[in-house]
Amino acid sequence: MIDPKKLDLSRLTVYPLENRQHLSHINDIIIDPDDALLPISDSQLKQIRRLEKKLRRARDRGASAVLIYGAHLIKNGTAVLVNQLIESGWITHIATNGAGSIHDWEFAHIGASTESVEKGVKNGSFGAWDETAKNIHIAILSGAIDSLGYGQSLGRFINENGCTLPQESELVEAIKNDPTSHLTSARADLLFAMNQFSLKAGKYDVSHPYRETSIIASAWRHKVPFSVHPSIGYDIIANHPIFSGSAIGRAGEWDFKLFGGSLENLNGGITISVGSAIMGPQVFEKAMSCVNNRRIKLGGTAITDHSIYVVDIQDGGQWDWQHGEPPTNNPAYYLRFCKSYSRMGGTMNYIQCDNAAFIQRLHHHLIKK
């Protein structure tokens, strides 16, 4: 019988970000609102204009307008455009995966992100960047004792250029005085991290000179709910001695509940899922089921009056997803990012489009016109 020993992350060697060969720099990728429009087809334009009209109706009705995206939306330089959509009230909830939050934070902190995965895995340096994992964990740990999830904790951390850590004695006293509090585990995790990594009470300073390019920071400033939906071992913040599955799991749990709260108001609303092949559809279907479960138990009805727009560069299996899902012998059936959304009770629309071109055009018609 094979009995492997657990990987001891406390013995990992980590490196400063200044040693990394960054493959992406914010000044090279960022799309300015006044840049020339990227080319799209007439068909894509018609679909985006239909989406624009539905967003206007959703806002008039006070319904949710949810934007879900994968990390490439950040890496393709759309942050300023998305931030203006937030500022103008077009988006009422934003959700991303762990990688989306990591690129967002790195760009805000140093104006650069992304590395060679192939080279890094070979020499063991992939993801082992001290500031990234350490600071995102500290943001989440410090936010948790204030009942903040992953997205809100990181948004506050970026905007405030760090956080304020409590005295260890305060954490010990709070745990002793109210051991059954829902914050007890969060306080214990922060206490452990402060002790293990010699974190001092008081202001923990981390500069974010590029925070105007951070979607997470913009959402925090404009009080728009931002949820991050991580998975254990999926993201490079696991490649560090500070990695805490309990802290990440707790933050993800609270953000899942936050996401579900926004879906409660989805009747008459819109969901836009851009470049999220796994996280978006998987989280959406579970949250929607929970919301409908509660609505029906309270004597209400399931949410059905809503539209979903899925945007990806793939061809969608050459299937018309407005007519439901294909049979199981059709390869398109196995496109999770289409199939799951088509089952969600609303009208599902698929736009095959480069995500930067899509966001730029949507911004153009909602903001500039």
Per the structure block, which two tokens stand in for 158? 């970026």
Residues 6 or more apart whose Cβ sits within 8 Å of residue 146:
none
**Residue-level pLDDT at 5:** 86
Residue 11 lies in a domain: no
- Total number of domains constituting the chain: 1
CA distances from 344 to 84, 263, 281, 325, 338 (A): 29, 12, 9, 11, 11
Give Cβ neighbours of residue 271 (< 8 Å, ≥ 6 apart): 64, 66, 68, 284, 306, 307, 308, 309, 341, 346
Tell whether 30 is covered by a domain. yes
Q: Report whether 341 contacts 308 (CB < 8 A).
A: yes
Separation of alpha carbons 129 and 132, rounded Å = 6
Cβ neighbours for 177, distance < 8 A, ≥ 6 positions apart: none
Mean pLDDT throughout 178-196?
A: 98
* Residues listed for the chain: 369
Can you tell me which residue has the tokens 């051991």? Answer: 179
Both tokens of 321, joined, read 């997803």
Does some domain include residue 12?
no
pLDDT in tens, 214-265: 999 999 999 999 999 999 999 999 999 999 999 999 999 999 999 999 999 9
Q: Would 2 be classed as within a structural domain?
A: no
149 is a domain residue = yes
184 within domain boundaries:
yes
How many angstroms separate the most distant Cα atoms in the chain? 67
- Tell me what percent of the residues of the chain surpass a pLDDT of 90: 91
3-class state of residue 164 by DSSP:
strand
With a cut of 90, say whether residue 188 has pLDDT above it: yes
Q: Is residue 155 part of a domain?
A: yes
Angle between helix 245-263 and 150-159 (nearest 10)? 100
pLDDT at residue 1, rounded to an integer: 63
Tell me the C-alpha distance between 340 and 334, whole Å.
10
The predicted model gives 77-100 an average pLDDT of 98
**What Cα–Cα distance (Å) separates residue 162 from each residue in 140, 167, 169?**
11, 16, 21
Domain span at residue 221 reads 17-368
Let me know if 84 is exposed, middle or buried by CB neighbors in 10 A (0-12, 13-18, 19+). Answer: middle
In this prediction, residue 320 carries a pLDDT of 86
AA letter at 311: V
If DSSP codes are grouped into helix, strand and coil, which group holds residue 85? Answer: helix
pLDDT single digits (tens) 303-352 = 999 999 999 998 888 888 888 889 999 998 988 889 999 999 999 999 99
DSSP SS3 for 103: helix
Give 113-159 pLDDT, tens digit per residue: 999 999 999 999 999 999 999 999 999 999 999 999 999 999 999 99
CB atoms within 10 A of CB 259: 28
Query: How much is the average pLDDT of 255-281?
Result: 96
In a domain, 83, yes or no: yes
User: Could you tell me the CATH number of the domain that includes residue 69?
Assistant: 3.40.50.10690
Tell me which of 161 and 4 has the higher pLDDT.
161
